[in-house]
Amino acid sequence: MPRRRTSSSSSSTGSSTGSPTTPRNRTPQAVRIRRRSFGDFVKAFFAFVALLVLVVGVPGALAMSVGWPLPNGVPELEWLQKPITTGTFLNILTVIVWLAWAQFTACVLVEIKAAVSGIGVPGRVPGSGPSQLLARQLVAALLLVGATAASLTPGLSQLGHDMEGNQRGTVAAAQQTPGGGLFAQQQEQAASTAAALAEQAAGAAAHADAAGSAAKADDTKYYRIQPPEGRHHDSLWEIAERHLGDGRRYKEIFDLNKDRVQPDGSKLSEASLIRPGWIMEMPGDARGGDLVEMPEAGGSAAQQQLHDYGKAGGDQAGGGGGHAQGGGQQGGATQVSVPEQRPAPDQRTGGHQQHATAGTSAASDAFGLPQALVGAPLLAAGLLGALGRRRRQALWQSAFGAVGGRRGMEPPTPTGDAADAQDALLVGADPEGVRLLDRSLRGLAASLAAESRPLPTVYATWLSNNGDLHLQLAQPSGNPPAPWQLGQDQTFWMLARTDAERYEDVDAAAPYPGLVSLGTMDDSRLLLNLESVPGIVSLSGREADRAAVFASVAAELATNGWSDRMTITLVGFGEDLTPLAPNRLRHLEGIDDLVETMEAETRQRRGALGAAGHDSVLTGRTGPARHTRWAPHLVLLAAEPSADDAMKLAELAADASRLGIGYLVGTESGDLPGAAWEMEITGEGKLLAPLLGLELDAQLLPVPLQRAVVELFVESDPEREPQGPATAPPFLVDISEQGRPAVYARLVGPYEIIGLDTPDGDRSALLHEALALLLLHREGVHPRVLSSALWPRGVTDDVREALLDRLRAWLGTDPDGTPRLKTDATGRLTLAKTVVSDLDVLRSLYHEATQGRGVDSRAVRGRLLTDALVLVRGPLLADRPEGRYRWLTHEIIDAQLPLLVADIGLALSEFHLVKDRAEKAIEALGAALNSAPGDERLWHELLRATHATGDTDRLQALAADLIARSGARGLPPRTEALLDELLPTWRNGVAAVG
């Protein structure tokens, strides 16, 4: 990237907005030329002498002093048996020197060709690192003062119009490398090439000006993309910042150059790639000494030069060395670039992510759902999955605590902001995307392990708009295992969505658990691998904006579905976030505690890696201990550390990427020691990283939304003490004769609807599914939640409204004219009380038997429990078609219904055993086991009821059946203890069978 220069104070008088085909009237500006110093001539002289000695002198001296070192004829077998003399030894050394000379000469030729061609970075001669470095330095020093070198490359001022007239090209925003330099070889290579090319362009422009090439007043300014200079790469952001005063105006350069054919014959195609030597037309108000004018004269000569330019740059274009975006890690240099994306035939085919982000802002605002969760599909999926697990855990823990009337059978119904947050999670979540990401990464790890290849270091992952997965590697790692393939260059591995869908679950550790979403750019979602960054990632901006980013990162890391184990340390914030994942999240009050903790852990990890013989945690994750060791530790420090603390953190982070430790640190000033990547969050929700070439729509979790999400988790905490009496079902049915419903749906077992005509056509299944969702949520369903459940890959508003109209018409109205599908004050869809399901009746019967009239009347309780058990005809929606009702994975009804049936069976068994009706009790327990075969409580009661019959053989047969069902895991400890009490000889029977 060219060095920063102070922009010229002169301003253009032309309009900046004119038609792109209309010439602009501006006065040409002189090109700044670096004057050659005496030192340059001295360096050039010594470089010339050195090249002359090494290229010409060495072979001449060898020829005169030693002569031809090889035998003149084919050696015979006796020659091999002769003793090695001094002459033989000298001949061998001479051959080696000749080979070294040939290699160096090849390096000199390669460097001269690359320097005078004016494009890209020279190709590498195999096995000649030091030799090529020396050749590069000598050639660069010589060509910097050579007039012929500048004349060999066409300058911008000599070029005419485009080869294709006013055809424009897509400019890709080149990404720049923050922090750390390249390997010395590549650093010198890039620096010398950049200097040579800059001098060539300046010389050509000066020559054209001296020859009297008068530019017209309406000439357009152009900029030529420069080769890498040190660790810097030219980027549109930097160009816009330097010549337009604002890096965000890089998009104007992009638009001006769309579809332009470049001098090397290629076209600009993506917003992430530019190549050295490409010509960029600049906006009308561009200024600065790097810009030149392109006169109209000389069009034919210029086209020939363009042709020659393309031939010179063709080899570079294919090798990846001429790309300004780089993409590797060389001696600690890091960089993120946007991958090329294949066009999607349908914008909705990219998965639920598109439904959650594209075109939903207005609808979301209209229905009051927080867009921060609706537009964060991976975060929403993680939170929703963790919330479901938390509620199931609470349900099961409560189930084994007492029988009947306990808290937990019905989780609390969220209200207010918590209800909106839950709906936003249901709308925004993309569990299928998380599943594909997890399987793809684990499948890659398994394939590499099978080939005895290490895991490559991955800086970032991009999920494109069509569902493809791009891994950006720190450095080229060869060809990926199938079905992965190389992406736009050697530092990208790409997996198409169709290939990802073929992956099955594999027994492999999560290779990159530190990936976390930062936001979207060009419809692609960026996941940064925090543990791979060679240093600290700093985040500047207002405190509230930084807090929203930190909370989003912490929440996703704590609940994501592509990690096994990790530790996330929150410092200076996030104490209230720990309920999201108490096993992963921990909170520290101050930086002193953090430094002490991380110093100890850094020492421990270094020692563990050394003892295991691994160079990094990535090699350890594919080893035998992959499930118990090498989990990442990610530190999120929201408050800016002091200068001393910042230096301590920088020292700890210097080796952190190898140890699996990542640091994200907030800063007010934006200047943090040891920061490898610097980012800024703006008040408009943009996450900027100019040196990385990124401008993302940031993924945020603002404070009010944090509280709402945490409330959902706190209310579902299994360890939380019950607040008041047991939760009643959300909808109680009038179970008397007068409460006969108008519409009755049977959900427990095969799906049937009584009281409605079956809709005609293909929409019948969709209407049935919509009704089932409403019946399972009597508290109300948000319209966006309904459409997200029925069309997980996205739907337009008009299609959703058409479905609701058909659903209203199908359900009809009650005799008093009230519609059976209504909208409540919050905008949620609710069903009338006259629309009932058998699940509603089942819950109402059990509630009435255990907490209503059945409490005071034994006869009523027995009748209600018997009626309830008769309603159980199988699992929920037993005959649902393949591919539909996927929203049930978000529900806990699949755990609630078996527990409810087991509770009914247990209560009815107790009812009969009190009167010594063991057979009746066994019958009730058997019916309950048909729907809840895995409930240990039912088997225990069945053993007791069978023991009450006094039939030892029957009890022995039941014990044998239990043992057979338990398989290799064996009987649970409590079951064994019960058998020891009821049938002490049961172990003898097992031994006899064995």
Task: Please provide the DSSP assignment of 689-705 as one string.
Answer: EGGGTEEEEE----HHH
Q: Report whether pLDDT(193) > 70.
A: no
pLDDT at 250 (0 to 100): 78
Cis ω on the peptide bond leading into residue 480 (within 30° of 0)?
no
Q: Report whether pLDDT(162) > 60.
A: no
Distance CA 278, CA 813 (A): 68
Q: Report whether pLDDT(969) > 50.
A: yes
Mean pLDDT confidence for 518-534: 90
- Integer angstrom CA distances of residue 673 from 120, 546, 633, 665, 989: 33, 19, 21, 11, 72
Distance CA 916, CA 927 (A): 19
Distance CA 535, CA 663 (A): 7
- Integer angstrom CA distances of residue 58 from 53, 303, 648: 6, 43, 52
- With a pLDDT cut of 70, the percent of the chain lying above it is 72
> Per mean pLDDT, which range of 13-17, 114-118, 536-540, 582-586 is the poorest?
13-17
Q: Report whether pLDDT(583) > 70.
A: yes
Q: Report whether pLDDT(670) > 80.
A: no
Q: Number of H helices and number of E strands within the chain?
A: 34, 22
pLDDT at 508 (0 to 100): 85
CB count in 10 Å sphere of residue 972 = 14
Distance CA 925, CA 908 (A): 8
Q: Can you say how many angstroms the Cα of residue 389 is from the centroid of all Cα atoms in its chain? A: 23
Mean pLDDT confidence for 301-325: 38
pLDDT at 357 (0 to 100): 37
Q: Report whether pLDDT(906) > 90.
A: yes
Band of pLDDT at residue 933, cut at 50, 70 and 90: confident
Q: Report whether pLDDT(765) > 50.
A: yes
pLDDT at 444 (0 to 100): 94
Is the pLDDT higher at 668 or at 526?
526
Q: Can you say how many angstroms the Cα of residue 889 is from the centroid of all Cα atoms in its chain? A: 22
pLDDT at 346 (0 to 100): 41
Distance CA 330, CA 434 (A): 31
Mean pLDDT confidence for 976-992: 80
Q: What are phi and psi of 744, to 5 degrees?
A: -125, 120
Is the pLDDT higher at 195 or at 331?
195
pLDDT at 90 (0 to 100): 74
Q: Report whether pLDDT(242) > 60.
A: yes
DSSP state of 56: I
> Per mean pLDDT, which range of 389-403, 437-451, 834-848 is the poorest?
389-403
Q: Report whether pLDDT(308) > 50.
A: no
Band of pLDDT at residue 219, cut at 50, 70 and 90: low
Band of pLDDT at residue 335, cut at 50, 70 and 90: low
3-state secondary structure of 858: helix
Q: Report whether pLDDT(205) > 70.
A: no
Q: Can you say how many angstroms the Cα of residue 122 is from the centroid of all Cα atoms in its chain? A: 34
pTM score, whole prediction = 0.66
pLDDT at 114 (0 to 100): 66
Q: Per-residue pLDDT tens for 60-107?
A: 887 777 776 666 665 566 655 667 677 776 777 777 888 888 888 888
Which residues lie closer than 8 Å to 489 by C-beta, 6 or more apart? 320, 323, 327
> Per mean pLDDT, which range of 242-251, 335-344, 385-394 is the poorest?
335-344
Q: Report whether pLDDT(352) > 50.
A: no
- Torsional class of 452: left (φ above 0), alpha (ψ -120 to 50), beta (otherwise): left
Q: Per-residue pLDDT tens for 603-647?
A: 888 888 888 777 777 776 765 555 445 788 999 999 888 888 888
Band of pLDDT at residue 207, cut at 50, 70 and 90: very low
The pair of three-digit structure tokens given for residue 342, joined into one six-digit string: 């294949």
Please name the helix (run of DSSP H) or strand (run of DSSP E) that holds residue 603, with its range, or none.
Answer: helix 591-612
Return the bridge partners of 836, or none: 744
CB count in 10 Å sphere of residue 658 = 19
- With a pLDDT cut of 90, the percent of the chain lying above it is 34
> Per mean pLDDT, which range of 185-194, 256-265, 398-407, 870-879 is the poorest?
185-194
Band of pLDDT at residue 990, cut at 50, 70 and 90: low
Residue with structure tokens 């979301």?
364
Full DSSP string of 59-128? HHHHHHHT---S-SSPPPHHHHHSPP-HHHHHHHHHHHHHHHHHHHHHHHHHHHHHHHHTSS-PPPPTT-
- Torsional class of 359: left (φ above 0), alpha (ψ -120 to 50), beta (otherwise): left
Q: Are 529 and 515 contacting, i.e. CB atoms less than 8 angstroms apart?
A: yes
Q: Report whether pLDDT(566) > 50.
A: yes
Full DSSP string of 612-665? HT-SSHHHHHTSTTTTTS---EEEEE-SPPPHHHHHHHHHHHTTHHHHTEEEEE
Q: Report whether pLDDT(988) > 80.
A: no
β-strands 675-681, 536-541 pairing: parallel
- Torsional class of 458: left (φ above 0), alpha (ψ -120 to 50), beta (otherwise): beta
pLDDT at 145 (0 to 100): 55
Q: Report whether pLDDT(565) > 50.
A: yes
Mean pLDDT confidence for 122-150: 65
Q: Report whether pLDDT(221) > 60.
A: yes
pLDDT at 265 (0 to 100): 66
> Per mean pLDDT, which range of 145-159, 643-657, 911-925, 932-946 is the poorest?
145-159
Band of pLDDT at residue 867, cut at 50, 70 and 90: very high
Mean pLDDT confidence for 931-958: 90
Q: Are 555 and 379 contacting, i.e. CB atoms less than 8 angstroms apart?
A: yes
pLDDT at 180 (0 to 100): 32
Distance CA 319, CA 364 (A): 46
pLDDT at 68 (0 to 100): 67
CB contact burial 290-311 (16+ within 10 A = b; e otherwise) = bbbbbbeebeeebeebbebbbe
Helices (H), 429-535: 431-450, 497-500
CB count in 10 Å sphere of residue 163 = 17
Distance CA 589, CA 591 (A): 7
pLDDT at 293 (0 to 100): 60
pLDDT at 294 (0 to 100): 54
Radius of gyration from C-alpha coordinates of the chain = 36
Q: Report whether pLDDT(361) > 80.
A: no
Residue with structure tokens 């066009």?
343
Q: What is the mean pLDDT of the chain?
A: 76
- Integer angstrom CA distances of residue 929 from 367, 439, 872, 892, 975: 43, 35, 11, 19, 16
> Per mean pLDDT, which range of 269-273, 756-760, 859-863, 976-980 is the poorest?
269-273
Q: Are 240 and 248 contacting, i.e. CB atoms less than 8 angstroms apart?
A: yes
Q: What are phi and psi of 584, to 5 degrees?
A: -105, -40
> Per mean pLDDT, which range of 287-301, 535-549, 831-845, 906-920 is the poorest?
287-301
Mean pLDDT confidence for 826-844: 93
Band of pLDDT at residue 330, cut at 50, 70 and 90: very low
Is the pLDDT higher at 199 or at 428?
428
Distance CA 453, CA 621 (A): 12
